[in-house]
Amino acid sequence: MRLDKYLSVTATATRSETRKAVRAGEVTVNGAPARDPAENVDENTVAVTFRGTPVVYRRRHYILLNKPAGYVSATEDSGPTVLSLLPEKYTVMGLFPCGRLDKDTEGLLLLTDDGDTAHRLLSPRRHVKKRYRFTAEHDITGAEMAAFRAGMTLSDGTKTAPAGMELNADGKSGIVTLTEGKYHQIKRMMGALGNRIVMLERISFGPLDLPADLPRGAWRPLTDEEEAALLEAAENTPVHPLT
């Protein structure tokens, strides 16, 4: 792998930043100053430092983002996307959202370049749980809660799986748990009951929880423990038949 690509895929520096750092003598390869950003390195064994800091190579990347409203869960769009919240050195890594949150839905969103893991986590046969904090426009009755929990058929004929619902004392806010990810699912289910979602925030995705100390619009790489739990969930969550 070229040195400038190595520093790019490790989210250390863009290729232009690498060229400048090499010229300034701020990059070392196996203890010696790098002379050419295009030199080839073995990513599995090389020891690189960038401006005095050792570079850690990761084959795949996992970013946890606290998505704000107004951003599209896509790599490209006419409006601002979730990737625009990351520095340029991350946006050239081939990251993409693992699943989608509506433009006005906030909360936990996983960004990765690991297509295989994303596919497993999003497979409708895996039933990976996703939890959302919500507020509805009107009070939710016991019958409406039972309809959510039993699953329902929407106006276009779409059938939803049973969804968990915990209701707060105010009668119109709480937590919904899904095991699938149909288009605008919670909003459409609530609409089928003659109600409307006015706030929706994803607070968990599989083994990942939205950190209380991560502000809206902020992001961070997964910890080693979070990454291990995510990969285990992708690999070992039971596969169910499609219904």
Q: Is the dihedral of CA 138, 143, 146, 147 positive or negative?
A: negative
Residue 18 CA to residue 37 CA, distance in Å, equals: 7
Q: Is the dihedral of CA 23, 25, 27, 32 positive or negative?
A: positive
Query: Three-class SS of residue 211?
Result: coil
Beta-carbon count within 10 A of 144 CB: 21
Query: Three-class SS of residue 232?
Result: helix
Catalytic residue among 4, 36, 42, 102: 102
Pick the closest to residue 178 from 166, 192, 161 (CA basis).
161
Residue 133 CA to residue 107 CA, distance in Å, equals: 9
- The residue length of the chain stands at 243
Residue 123 CA to residue 132 CA, distance in Å, equals: 19
Active site residue 102: yes
Contact (CB, 8 A) for 121 and 204 = no
Which residue type does 98 have? C
Helix (H), strand (E) at residue 204: strand 197-205
Catalytic positions, please?
A: 102
